[in-house]
Amino acid sequence: MMIRTRFAPSPTGFLHVGGLRTALYSYLVAKQNGGKFILRIEDTDRKRFVEGSIENVIQSLKWAGIEIDEGPYIQSERLEIYKKYADELLTNGHAYHCFCIAERLEDLRNYQQKNKLPTGYDGCCRELDQEEVKKRIEAGEAHVLRLKMPKEGKTTFIDLIHGEVSFKNELIDDQVLMKTDGFPTYHLAVVIDDHFMEISHVIRGEEWLSSTPKHLQLYKYFNWEAPQMAHLPLLLNPDKSKLSKRQGDVAVEDYIKKGYLPQAMINFVAFLGWNPGVEQEIYSLNELVKEFKIGKINKSGAVFNLEKLDWYNQQYLKNLKNDELVDVCLPWLVKAGLATGNEDKQWLASALELEKERITTLAELSEALKFVFVSPEYDGGILVWKKSSLDEVKKILPRLAEFVDTISIQDWNKEKLQSIVGEWIVKNEFSNGSVLWPLRVALSGQENSPGPFEIAGVLGKDESVKRIKSAIERLS
């Protein structure tokens, strides 16, 4: 049997990082078995539909490198299929019409909560006389279709993460299957779609674990074989509360805009609940396909640790080759108005090298590298090293400017400059700090920046000399 997995989000906004994890795990299970990964959009709750959501899901998955083999299938385009099988359940006595209005259901819920009873539908319409049902329908009375759950025994199944799970049937309410608007609920549509799309493994969030008995009962009523189930642990904030917008960004889009690399996000998300049991932490998507084992997913919730994501992003930035670095960073520099896109790629790579190990995300890049593209504005006071004095800097900088102006263009690179200027410092009996601190600040306009020779190599001779002379003027 071919392994077929699916990712089935509701189009209610941007793709959640928890959704990305579900999609990733589903993708990995399919790909490591030569199977198919399917995208299905579950849009039967029309009140929560958000325009542009479907496009965002597809773009976010593409950004992450998760390729869709089939889909997207759209549930709202499949209503006739759901109605056919809802009618079949009704005909076979496995479902019934319910006429309870919203106010009654609200009162029922409040009563159950107040008296600390299990919440759920009380079966009020379950045994209505069929003649009465017919009359009320013909009279145009609003109604839904509910699943007729058995009220005795247990529903027991094997979850690939949680092991054997068991629920008492008496505590499972009769779920709505078809709403008054003619749309199916998630519970009916998901079973029908998973069956006809031949889904072999259902991988979804832990919040759906308690709904699984209802779904298994539907498989039983239809005489269909149920797929294997795996319910993923919750994603948690550092304080162990459920990950939510109230405590930080939760949409993949947020992290794209902040300049996280897709490789870093995928690597980070893969480890939210899964551990390969070895020390290796950096995995490419292809390596994850080979190494991922659903049985190694933890049952307990996974903490969304932003510091760990930052670490992953820094590792991937450091390891990018020059041409990859330019391709990834250039759009950010162009957007900031620092670059045009026509710059020499080799020069641009050397400029990016200045900061690639110092930044956490690409969003920080423009501010960090601004001094390369624009002559910096700064207070001349920061030119004075902590172990030096203003008088000493006023004496050294003019001599340094005069000396570096004599260095040939051929020798104007980091290694040669370090050697030549180093010899000049020794010859003149200056301390390294008294020369290199003001030189670095003159070139960058910053107290904290890359080394002076790296910066000078990128800026070139003319610009470097110009900035040192500008620094001298700031001292007066």
- CA-to-CA distance for 187 and 215, rounded, in angstroms? 6
So which residues are the catalytic ones? 245
Number of H helices, E strands in the chain: 19, 12
Q: What are phi and psi of 232, to 5 degrees?
A: -80, 145
Signed CA dihedral, 412, 414, 415, 421: sign only: positive
Show Cβ contacts of residue 355 under 8 Å, excluding neighbours closer than 6 positions.
365, 368, 369, 450
The residue among 279, 277, 446 whose CA lies nearest residue 367 is 446
First CA to last CA distance, the chain = 81
3-state class of 112 per DSSP? Answer: helix
- CA-to-CA distance for 348 and 317, rounded, in angstroms? 15
Q: What are phi and psi of 233, to 5 degrees?
A: -65, 155
Show Cβ contacts of residue 238 under 8 Å, excluding neighbours closer than 6 positions.
303, 304, 305
Beta strands in 311-408 (DSSP E): none
3-state class of 377 per DSSP? Answer: coil
Half-sphere exposure (CA, 13 Å, Cβ side) for 165?
20
DSSP 117: P
| Rg of the chain taking only CA atoms, in angstroms | 32
Backbone φ/ψ region at 405: left (φ over 0), alpha (ψ -120 to 50), beta = alpha
Q: What amino acid occupies position 75?
A: Q
The residue among 171, 192, 193, 179 whose CA lies nearest residue 144 is 179
